[in-house]
Amino acid sequence: MTTDQIAHPPIVSKSEWLGERLKLLKHEKELTKQYDKVSAERRRLPMGKIAKEYLFQGTEGLQTLSMLFDGCRQLIVYHFMFDPDWDAGCSG
């Protein structure tokens, strides 16, 4: 298929375009509301107690998960990939 054979939407008046755009906007808002609903359901999922004692290697040696939290309610974890043979970290 060449560029002159590519299917394009029809060219319409401004009022016709606006009508179609408003229909699309309604669908976009419905999708956003559904996404927000699913996100809220995800946040309300029950929690599970961590029974295994995980150990993490850090700048201060081996630490447990509770040691990493150190009395804080949240822990932010950064994942950085770096191979010893690389000159820089993974850009992705």
pLDDT tens-digit series, residues 30-83: 999 999 999 999 999 998 888 899 999 988 899 988 888 888 888 777 778 888
Return d(Cα 61, Cα 69) in angstroms, integer: 15
Query: Do the strands 61-64 and 55-58 form a parallel or antiparallel pair, or are they unpaired?
Result: antiparallel
Report domain extents, the chain.
11-43
Please give the structure tokens belonging to residue 51.
């029974």
Bridge partners of 57?
A: 62
Please give the structure tokens belonging to residue 61.
């040696």
Rg (CA), the chain: 26
pLDDT tens-digit series, residues 4-22: 688 899 999 999 999 999 9
